[in-house]
Structure 1
C-alpha cells in the first residue's frame, strides 16, 4: 500500500466517505459488458450452484444446479451457461479491421508488408470480486479437457458439446485477467479499489455491498456504520439483507433456506422416479389414478424447482444491482488517455484466441512449460511497468504517489541558461534549467531525469514525449534543483521553439524512464536447455513454437 493510499484511507475514516484515488478512469468499460454473479456450493471447491448474468441490468438471467452433488445436473448447468455466454463471447469475432505490418523473411531477412485481422471490439465480463474470477478459472480448468460425443473416444459420460469450448474461453479470460491493465475480465471490487479508498481493510473491501456503502452512506450514518449494516443486517427470518455472493453463500442461508429447498427438490424427484418406475410407462392398461399421481409428482418437482429459483434469485439480485451501481460510479469518471492503447492490446488477445480456436489448436495445457511460463512472467512484469508509467502520465494523483515516494518532482522554473557541449564536431545545446520545488526527490547528482513534456507531436495525437535531463545541482535547503537538458530540442544548433520551459512555467520530472524497455529474448522451445525441459528435440516441451509465439503477443 502506497503512502497516498494510506493517507486516503485515513481521510476516509475521518470523513466517513470513500475518498478518490484517481481523477480519471484507468480501466476500459465496454458499452455492453456481460455481468456475471456466480454462487458456489459449500463444501466443494469450484462446485457451481447458480449464476445470474446478462447485459441488461433490468433483465438478468438465472442458471442453477438444483442438486450440486449430481454430476449430470452440473453438466446441464454448464451446457445452459455455455449456450447463454458463448454467443456473447463469439459475437465480437466477425467485425474486424485490417492492420498493416511487416514480417521478416527467415531466409532472406527482407521485410515484407503483411496485413493482420484485428477484431473491432472485444467482450468484457464483470464479476463482483476477485473470488469470482478464481471461480471462473476453476470452471475453465475443469471443463476445457472434457470429452464430448463428437470425440473419437468420448468415454462413459461425455460432456455436452459446447462445454469444453466454454472452458477454453474462461481459461483465456482468467489468464488475461492476470495481465496488469487488462479489461477483458474485471472484478468490480478491484475496479472500485483502484479509484477510491475506504476506511476498511482490503479483505472487507471484497464485500461489494459494504464497499459501496462508503460511497453513499444513508443520512446520519458514516461509511463505517453503513458498511457494518450492509455486512450484518438481517430480516425477520434471520437472512442477510445484502447476501455476499462472494461467490460463497452465507451459512445462515445454507442452513435455513438452501438446504430445505434442495431437500424438497430431492424428495419430489425421488417421488417422481419411484412413480414412473411403476406408472407412466405408456402401457395402454395403465391405471388413470397412477397417471394422475405421476402428474402430481411432476408438478411437485416443478414447484420445488421454482422455490429454489426464487431463493437463489433473492440472494443474487442485491449483488447484481450492486455491480451495476458500481459501473455507474465508474462511468462518471472521464477515461484516461492511455485506455484506448491498453484496450487495443485486449483486442489483440481476443483476436488471437479466436484464431487459435478456428485453427483447431488443442486446449491450453494444464501446466505451462518453462519457456511459456517465463514469457508470461516477463510480459506481465513489462505490462505492470507500462501501466505504472501510463497511469502516472494520465493522472495527477497517480503522479503524486511517485512524488511522495521521491521518484518524481514538480516545481516552477526559475531560470534557463543556454549552454553548449563543444566536445564533438559541432556544438550541441545543453541548457541548464533551474526550478524551485517543495518535493523531496531522491535527486542524486548525475542521476537521469525525464521531463513529462507535451511536444507538437504529442499535441497532434502522437502521445506524450519525454525529455531526458541530468541532475547537476541540488540545494535541499532552498528547494532548488538544476538539470542539464540532453534531448528533445531538435537537431538544429538552437533549441526548437517551445522545446524548453520558460521561467514561471510549471514542470514535472520523473526519476524513472517513461518508456518500458523490452526484456531479453528467451530461447525457442527447441533450444531450451535440459535444466528447463530439454534436451533439444525431446518431447518434454509440450507446446508448439507457433503457439508460444502467439502467447508472447497477447499474454495468453
Structure 2
C-alpha cells in the first residue's frame, strides 16, 4: 500500500506537470556550515579527480583542476590543496561538538567520493592518506540508515517530492530541479529533456570528452614533453575553462537543492534532532580512534563485519521507530503498510486478578487489512509513550480486525482513554544504546570462533533416533 501511495503521487505530478510534495516535515538536517563538494573524474579513471569545486551554501566555489590526473604529481597537488580545508573543517566541528556534513549532487557523486576514500587511505603519501581517512568517515556513514554526514542532493529532494518520472531519472539533479521549479509556459517533458543535456554527476559528457577535452589534454601533454612552458600553461588554462563550464552548474544546482530544502514550508522534525545527536557522537568516536592510531582496514575481519551488520540493522529499526513517532508522513505510511495499528477503542476493562492486583484489558477495531502484528508483541501509543499494550489476540470480523491486548505499562493512561477514541500504536521509542549491549554479548560469544569460521570441523554426532525402513515414505509424510 505504501508503494501505491508513491505511484499515486507520481501520477499526480505527471498530471500537474510539476513535482508534488509528499511530506510536510523536513527529512534531512542541513548544517549551516555544510561543505558542498563537486568532483569530476576523468573518463576511464574512476579513482581520479580531474576537477573539484568546494564551498558552502550561499558562497561561490573554490575550483581546482588537475590538467591530467593520470600524472600522480598533478593529482596529488589537487588532493593536497583539499586536505587543509577538510582538516580545518573537521577540527572546527570537533571543537563545536557537532559533526561535519558533505553535500554532493547525486548518488553517483556520492559513490565517487566513497571510492576515493577507500583508495586514498592506502597510498604511501601520508598527507594524501590523511585526506582519505577523513573522507572515510563520510563514506562509511553513507549506507547507515538516518546518517546525516554525506548527503546526496537528489536523494534528499526525493524524500520531499514526487515527480512524474522514474526513480532512476530522478538521479539527474537538473531534471529533478526542473520538476520542482518548472519554467512557466513550457512543456515539462521538453524542459526536462533540455535539463538532461547538462551533466550532473561525477562524469563529463562523452561527446564533450571526445571533441574538446581529450584533444586539449593531448596538447597539454605534448607541450610538457617538449618543455614548452608557455604552451603548457596555455593548454592547462584551456582545460581549466572547459571543466569549469561543467562543474559550476553542478555546484550551483546542489546549492539550489539545499535552498529548496531549507525553505520555511518544511516543518520541524523532532526525529532529526535525535539523529543529529547520534551523528555527533559517531563523529567524536571516529576522530578519537584516529587520534589513538587505530588503522582503517581495507577488509573487515569476520568479527568487525558482524558488528557492523548488527549496527546497521539496529540503525534501521531505530530510525524507523523515531520516524513513525515524530514524522507524520512516516506514520501515515506505517498505517497504510500495517506497521502502525490505527484502531478505535471498542472495549476496556479493569479486571481484578487477586487482592490488590488488577489487569487492564483493551480491544480495538480497525479496518486495516494487513497488520504486522502477532500475539505476544508489544506495541506502544505513539502519542503517549507511557502506554504499552501486549497483543493477546487478532481476529478478523468481516471488514474489520479486532485486536485485543493487556496493558503492560501506563495503566493510568489507559483509563484516561474513552470508548470511541482512535489511537495509533507502533514500535517503542528507539533504543540507541541497544547496539552497545549487543556488542558486549557478541564479544563474549565470538571470543571462541565458531566452527563455521575455523579450520577444524566438529566431530560427527550420530543420530539417536531409529531409522525408518522406508526413507522416501517418511519424507512424503512430512510434506
**Equivalent position of 2:284 in the other structure:** 351
Q: Quickly say closer, same or farther: Cα 1:478–1:530, change in 2 above 3 A.
A: closer
Query: Is contact 2:53–2:247 with CA below 8 Å preserved after alignment?
Result: yes
Match of 1:243 among 185, 191, 199: 199
**Equivalent position of 2:357 in the other structure:** 427
| Equivalent residue runs for 1:397-476 within 5 Å | 397-413=329-345, 415-422=346-353, 424-435=354-365, 437-442=366-371, 446=375, 448=377, 450-455=379-384, 464-470=385-391, 472=393, 474=395, 476=397
**Equivalent position of 2:407 in the other structure:** 486
1:427 CA drift (Å): 2.6
1:191 CA drift (Å): 1.1
Query: 2: CA distance between counterparts of 1:132 and 1:339?
Result: 24
**Equivalent position of 1:126 in the other structure:** 103
**CA deviation map 1:191-228 (0-9, x unaligned):** 11222222222221111111111111112345443322
Task: Please give the secondary structure, in 2, of the residue aligned with 1:527.
Answer: coil
Q: Once structures 1 and 2 are overlaid, which stretch shifts more, 298-307 or 444-453?
A: 444-453
Task: Please give the secondary structure, in 2, of the residue aligned with 1:523.
Answer: helix
**Equivalent position of 1:163 in the other structure:** 128
**Equivalent position of 1:98 in the other structure:** none
| Equivalent residue runs for 1:305-324 within 5 Å | 305-324=236-255
1:375 CA drift (Å): 0.6
Query: 2: CA distance between counterparts of 1:123 and 1:387?
Result: 20
Question: Structure 1: which 5+ runs fail to align?
Answer: 96-119, 148-158, 233-241, 274-296, 456-463, 536-556
Task: Please give the secondary structure, in 2, of the residue aligned with 1:418.
Answer: strand
1:11 CA drift (Å): 2.3
1:506 CA drift (Å): 3.1
Task: Please give the secondary structure, in 1, of the residue aligned with 2:250.
Answer: helix
Task: Please give the secondary structure, in 2, of the residue aligned with 1:255.
Answer: helix
Query: 1: CA distance between counterparts of 2:392 and 2:161?
Result: 35
Query: 2: CA distance between counterparts of 1:444 and 1:384?
Result: 19
| TM-score normalised by the chain length of structure 1 | 0.74
1:144 CA drift (Å): 1.2
1:447 CA drift (Å): 6.0
Match of 1:336 among 253, 269, 273: 269
**CA deviation map 1:450-486 (0-9, x unaligned):** 243434xxxxxxxx45522436565643646353441
Match of 1:198 among 163, 185, 208: 163
1:425 CA drift (Å): 5.0
Query: 2: CA distance between counterparts of 1:35 and 1:337?
Result: 25
Q: Quickly say closer, same or farther: Cα 1:58–1:523, change in 2 above 3 A.
A: closer
How many residues get paired?
A: 447
Q: Quickly say closer, same or farther: Cα 1:440–1:376, change in 2 above 3 A.
A: same
Q: Quickly say closer, same or farther: Cα 1:18–1:504, change in 2 above 3 A.
A: same
Q: Quickly say closer, same or farther: Cα 1:479–1:526, change in 2 above 3 A.
A: closer
Query: 2: CA distance between counterparts of 1:375 and 1:32?
Result: 32
**CA deviation map 1:291-336 (0-9, x unaligned):** xxxxxx4343333222221111110111111111111121222232
Richer in helix (by share): 2
Q: Quickly say closer, same or farther: Cα 1:370–1:360, change in 2 above 3 A.
A: same
Q: Once structures 1 and 2 are overlaid, which stretch shifts more, 216-225 or 250-259?
A: 216-225
Query: 2: CA distance between counterparts of 1:319 and 1:476?
Result: 56
1:381 aligns with 2:297: no
1:251 CA drift (Å): 0.6
**Equivalent position of 1:369 in the other structure:** 301
**Equivalent position of 1:74 in the other structure:** 75
Query: Is contact 2:25–2:268 with CA below 8 Å preserved after alignment?
Result: yes
Match of 1:266 among 221, 226, 231: 221
Q: Once structures 1 and 2 are overlaid, which stretch shifts more, 348-357 or 85-94?
A: 85-94
**CA deviation map 1:328-381 (0-9, x unaligned):** 12122223212121111211111112112222233x111000000011011101
What is the root-mean-square deviation of aligned Cα atoms in Å? 2.7
Query: Is contact 2:362–2:405 with CA below 8 Å preserved after alignment?
Result: yes
Q: Once structures 1 and 2 are overlaid, which stretch shifts more, 220-229 or 55-64?
A: 220-229
1:504 CA drift (Å): 4.7
